[in-house]
Amino acid sequence: MAYEDLREFLATLDKNAQLLRFSDPLSPEPHLGAAARAVSNLTDRGPALLFDNLDGYERGRVVLNVVGSWPNHALMLGLDKDTPVKEQFFEFARRWDAFPVEVGRREDAPWREHTVEGDDIDLFHLLPLFRLNRYDAGTYIDKAPVISRDPDDWDNFDAQNVGIYRIQVKGKARLGIQPLPTHDIGLHLRKAEERGENLPVAIAVGNEPVITTVAGMPLMYDQSEYEMAGAIQGSPYRIAKAPLTGMDVPWGAEAVLEGEIVAYSREVEGPFGEFTGYYSGGRRQPVITIHRVSYRTDPIFEHLYLGRPWTEMDYTLALNTSVPLYQQLKKDFPEVVAVNAMYTQGLLGIISVRPRYGGFAKAVGVRAMTTPHGLGYCKVIIVVDETVDPFNLAQVMWSLSVKFHPAHDLVVLPDLSILPLDPSSEPAGITHKVVLDATTPIAPEQRGHFSQEVDAPAETEAWENRIKQLLK
Amino acid sequence: MAYRDLRDFLATLDENGQLVRLTDPLRPEPHFGAAARAVANLTDRGPALQFDNIDGYERSRAVLNAVGSWPNHALMLGLDKDTPVKEQFFEFARRGDDFPVEVERADDAPWREHTLDGDEINLFHLLPLFRLNRYDAGSYIDKAAVVTRDPDDPEHFGKQNVGIYRIQVKGKARLGIQPVPAHDIGLHLRKAEERGENLPMAIAIGNEPVITTIAGMPLAYDESEYEFAGAVQGSPYRIAKAPLTGMDVPYGSEVVIEGEIIGGVREIEGPFGEFTGFYSGGRRQPVIKVHRVSYRTDPIFEHLYIGRPWTELDYTVALNTSVPLYRQLKQDYPEVVAVNAMYTHGLLGIISVRPRYGGFAKAVGMRAMTVPHGLGYCKVIIIVDDTVDPFNLAQVMWSLSVKLHPAHDLVVLPDLSILPLDPSSEPPGISHKVVLDATTPIAPEQRGHFSQEVDAPAETEAWENRIKELLR
Amino acid sequence: MSTPTIPDTCPRCDTHEVSLLTESPVPGRWSMYLCGVCFYSWRSTEPGYATDPATYPAAFKIDPVDIPKMPVVPSIPARRA
């Protein structure tokens, strides 16, 4: 089960009553950002929002909140839209194991229909760009896979990177980008600049949702996002060669922008409202010049609202943050049952374990803080028993309320690394972290009175199935 | 808007699609407990369950989960069933301000239809009693309003107590009860035993839901539950005199049991699966001798599943725990915005405040631990800003993820009192407690980088309303 | 209807003071029993976990000698003079 392109996914959403169309005339600001914020505020089962009558555009279309709910996330995975989050997690983790799945190549990509070059390019005419949050520096592209290659190893497919970075549109064909040094694109840029070269890039706007999700995933440097997308969607991921740069880009993209990051350029960028719920502040960051744009007829501008959780961003990052942490913890600690690291991209995470012996759960929490992702996140880790669903916060609160003893179960670690965007860190990038152990103490730790837990009555599962049918 | 009796409320649930009838022949064990556990496992929007074909009974009926979901809780308050929890909280708190509302007396109570005295009484024939959880000591009555008077001041209406206590059915007309010393009934019993008397009492089974909710609320000793129920339902609460003991009991009850707690007697009771998710252990507790039973034709046995949260118990105690805490905190701290103390009856609570100055939020958390209810609960208190909805756990997780700095925001208080049922306490009844301060630091506390929070785009609220309409 | 056979042993405390608590209103469907020592009660139609002394879990068994040592709640006050 794989979606050919964004349009096919939107059709599936529509069939499942998970797409709303707005055809009344609207000015992009503040309505588009407000509508996407509103739908996340209201529900975690909300629809995607498609706008097709935008002030100043003949036929421009914008779609927001495409993966911005659990039903939409389930449909992305080809699952029933009512699939519980925990089941989506296990399915995602299971498919991960099929990595790598070789790609499918085809050269008849629909975005070959139209081409614009050089001075003819005007991104504002091509796409209905708009300001998302009140004090963003301008219009951004924030949901497009950016493809770059290793300048020292140009033909290595696996070292080709597909990632999502925030992109400020600074001119008709001029962009600012945030390639963090710890990300793969940062490494590519560094190598290019060491060689005294610009770094060619392609930016694919408007895609089926799996590649967007995988592009936000912390894979190893030489793991191909396309081969991971193939694993997640369960069939070879279809790609095509971008005509100018030769980058491999998604076959089904709405628009493909090609250009290069200009070596040594650093120019003020931002602030931009970030996933932490705070603006990023301004920084001097690299600049991209666009040389060529390819696009389908009437391309759809797919965009993502982000800001204070929950927003679409939190859905797109939920499992692609949780599953890698789970896989990494599992290697040494097979007792790890599930990981929910979806709060502010894993600044807070909840891990369920089957503790091996007393004190073990705390070790799992501390280990999470030393995984690659944990070095910059995992400020608060809550560890719960295997019988608790870490995706069910009411159950997690119960665990904290009856299993957690603050004299024994609070581990504070001073002055560890954290992403500088954490507004509480001081200096930015340094914070204490804490493990809250809400598991049942086991031998050799003897305390409390936990031997008489109330298990579910016999036949509970049969009744769950019966009542589920009655409620359909 | 007030419900006349349980039947009136069940009819409203039915009209709203919130009642499921199960008419196939069923044995009480394990099915009733399993079904109620199952519906709570599946959803927080589930229906009440009515069983009316019970093995061994001609015409008996049992109802479980009557208030066991947010829609049912909203309907109890006469609100639209989709009313968000936070709005239910504010409405409940607002109505509490009307306390006291004088009662209304009527003497034609439907439970006067039938009477049994002395040796004619067999509670097992009158009601389909059953074992709820696997290792409960026997059949219990766990959702009935127990009415007693102050033996030193029997005419004082306000000191008459209406409370819910677990009651083990130990014989056809013989019960065990748990009157905790800290509760009003414990005080009544103590006075009776000091006087060398038995304590007369009435047990009203099967009621409209408001009195059941109020009976579980920690009111002051001389505050009348009936006058508070009148405030919450918005009209005088209707009561009637029980014929043998003269207790004031709900007019609409299905069954009224009258008898007395035998002075000076203690006998093994329990264990019983409790709201902590653990069994209570066995204790030696008082015994009740039943002398008279009055009942409606074909009385409905209303019962409540209790065990690991969430269960119906957690809905019934959610707001009647949160609202008193809120009112008590408000007295000195008008900056308190809302209180969500619904995790394990307030062992964990979340408080939203508008901090007055740096350090203030921690003081609010510590105060919660010293209010009457807090002395036995409030082991973990999380404080969030006024912009965060404490009933929205994803928002609370966000607050912890970006606002909590473990070097500054963890306050551990050693060896405080806690209810002995907390399985982590050691010795039972003693635990450290902790305040997690997830509010934004304000002057004179200068730390972090919180000045640029991403607020919602302009027009967000208008879009919430528009999308809400479209999703109907 | 024949009189139901009263079990010999309490599943929970393994003593032998079991009595008939009640029979079903519709005759012959079930009986309930009561232990006179630990006041455990059970219905004849319940699953084995609640009725069989051999498989009743150790964590929930009660030794009759422990009953007098159980906490008294609430404690019994002295009579007023």
The model's pLDDT over A315-337, given as tens digits with 9 standing for 90+, comes to 999 998 999 999 999 999 999 99
Token output for A443? 């031998």
pLDDT at site A205: 98
**Residue B74 pLDDT > 80, yes or no?**
yes
pLDDT at site B72: 98
pLDDT at site C2: 53
**A453: in domain:** no
Q: Note if the bond before B100 is cis, omega within 30 degrees.
A: yes
Could you list the beta-strand ranges (E) of A133-193.
Answer: 140-141, 145-148, 161-164, 167-171, 174-177
Q: Which residue has the higher pLDDT, A281 or A106?
A: A106
Q: Does the interface predicted TM-score (ipTM) exceed 0.85? A: yes
**Residue B218 pLDDT > 90, yes or no?**
no
Looking at the structure, tell me whether residues B423 and B346 fall in a common domain: yes
**Mutant choice from B27, B29, B288 vs C, greatest count of C C-beta within 10 A:** B29
Looking at residues A294-315, what average pLDDT do you find?
Answer: 96
Residue C59 has a CB neighbour count (10 Å cut-off) of 11
Residues 6+ apart with CB under 8 A from B23: B52, B53
Beta strands A238-241; A267-269: pairing state: unpaired
**B61: in domain:** yes
**Number of domains present in the structure of chain C:** 1
Whether C74 and chain B come into contact, CB under 8 Å, resolves to: yes
**Number of domains present in the structure of chain A:** 2
Looking at residues A22-50, what average pLDDT do you find?
Answer: 95
Residue of B nearest to C78 (CA): B194
pLDDT at site B1: 67
Catalytic residue among A258, A260, A274, A302: A274
Catalytic residue among B225, B274, B302, B312: B274
- Mean pLDDT score across all residues of chain B: 95
CATH of the domain at A284: 2.30.110.10
Whether B334 and chain C come into contact, CB under 8 Å, resolves to: no
Indicate yes or no: CB of C59 within 8 angstroms of CB of A458. Answer: no
Altogether, the residues listed in chain B come to a count of 472
Looking at the structure, tell me whether residues A279 and A381 fall in a common domain: no
CATH of the domain at B264: 2.30.110.10
Give residue for tokens 């090609």: A258
Whether C70 and chain B come into contact, CB under 8 Å, resolves to: yes
Could you list the beta-strand ranges (E) of B210-286.
Answer: 238-241, 248-250, 255-261, 267-269, 283-285
Set of chain B residues whose Cβ sits within 8 Å of the Cβ of C73: 178, 180-181, 266, 283-285
Which residues of chain C are under the pLDDT cut of 70? Answer: 1-4
pLDDT at site B80: 97
Say whether B73 sits in a helix, a strand or coil: helix
Name which of C44, C48, C55, C45 is nearest C14 in CA terms.
Answer: C55
- Do C12 and C38 touch, CB atoms closer than 8 A? yes
Among B41, B426, B466, select the one facing A447 at the smallest CB separation: B426
Say whether A343 sits in a helix, a strand or coil: strand
Residue of B nearest to A440 (CA): B424
Direct distance between the N- and C-terminal alpha carbons of chain B, in angstroms, rounded to an integer: 25
**Residue B322 pLDDT > 90, yes or no?**
yes
The model's pLDDT over B97-135, given as tens digits with 9 standing for 90+, comes to 999 999 999 999 999 999 999 999 999 999 999 999 999
Looking at the structure, tell me whether residues A293 and A385 fall in a common domain: no
Looking at residues A270-298, what average pLDDT do you find?
Answer: 94
- Do B229 and B211 touch, CB atoms closer than 8 A? yes
Looking at the structure, tell me whether residues A227 and A80 fall in a common domain: yes
d(CA C35, CA C21) in angstroms, rounded, equals: 9
- What sections of A196-311 are H helices per DSSP? 209-215, 225-233
Whether C48 and chain B come into contact, CB under 8 Å, resolves to: no
Domain of residue A411: give its range.
333-438
Name which of A232, A274, A230 is nearest A421 in CA terms.
Answer: A274
**B468: in domain:** no
The model's pLDDT over A220-248, given as tens digits with 9 standing for 90+, comes to 889 999 999 999 999 999 999 999 999 99
CATH of the domain at B433: 3.40.1670.10
- Do B268 and C10 touch, CB atoms closer than 8 A? no
Domain of residue C47: give its range.
1-60+67-81
pLDDT band for A1, please (50, 70, 90 cuts): low
Q: Note if the bond before B310 is cis, omega within 30 degrees.
A: yes
**B163: in domain:** yes
The model's pLDDT over A164-179, given as tens digits with 9 standing for 90+, comes to 999 999 999 999 999 8
Q: For residue A376, which amino acid is it?
A: G
Name which of B262, B279, B285 is nearest B165 in CA terms.
Answer: B285
The model's pLDDT over A355-382, given as tens digits with 9 standing for 90+, comes to 999 999 999 999 999 998 899 999 999 9
The model's pLDDT over B232-249, given as tens digits with 9 standing for 90+, comes to 999 999 999 999 999 999
- Do A208 and A144 touch, CB atoms closer than 8 A? no
pLDDT at site B232: 97
Looking at the structure, tell me whether residues B256 and B174 fall in a common domain: yes
Token output for B196? 């060398």
Residue of B nearest to A134 (CA): B457
**Residue A146 pLDDT > 80, yes or no?**
yes
The model's pLDDT over B152-204, given as tens digits with 9 standing for 90+, comes to 999 999 999 999 999 999 999 999 999 888 789 999 999 999 999 999 999 99
Looking at residues B318-323, what average pLDDT do you find?
Answer: 94
Set of chain A residues whose Cβ sits within 8 Å of the Cβ of C59: 451-452
Looking at the structure, tell me whether residues B72 and B193 fall in a common domain: yes
pLDDT at site C1: 46
Set of chain B residues whose Cβ sits within 8 Å of the Cβ of C45: 27, 29, 55
d(CA A191, CA A428) in angstroms, rounded, equals: 27
pLDDT at site B180: 82
Looking at the structure, tell me whether residues A297 and A354 fall in a common domain: no
Looking at residues A418-431, what average pLDDT do you find?
Answer: 92
CATH of the domain at A372: 3.40.1670.10
Indicate yes or no: CB of A452 within 8 angstroms of CB of C49. Answer: no
Looking at residues B136-159, what average pLDDT do you find?
Answer: 97
Could you confirm whether A274 is annotated as catalytic? yes
Indicate yes or no: CB of C25 within 8 angstroms of CB of B268. Answer: no
Token output for B168? 């083990």
**B351: in domain:** yes
d(CA A297, CA A126) in angstroms, rounded, equals: 10
Among C30, C73, C78, select the one facing B56 at the smallest CB separation: C30
d(CA A324, CA A218) in angstroms, rounded, equals: 7
The model's pLDDT over B394-453, given as tens digits with 9 standing for 90+, comes to 999 999 999 999 999 999 999 999 998 899 999 989 999 999 999 999 999 999 999 899
Whether C49 and chain B come into contact, CB under 8 Å, resolves to: yes
**A320: in domain:** no
**Residue A22 pLDDT > 80, yes or no?**
yes
Domain of residue B405: give its range.
333-438
**B202: in domain:** yes
Whether B103 and chain C come into contact, CB under 8 Å, resolves to: no
d(CA B255, CA B253) in angstroms, rounded, equals: 6
Looking at the structure, tell me whether residues A262 and A353 fall in a common domain: no
In chain A, what percentage of residues exceed pLDDT 90? 92
**Number of domains present in the structure of chain B:** 2
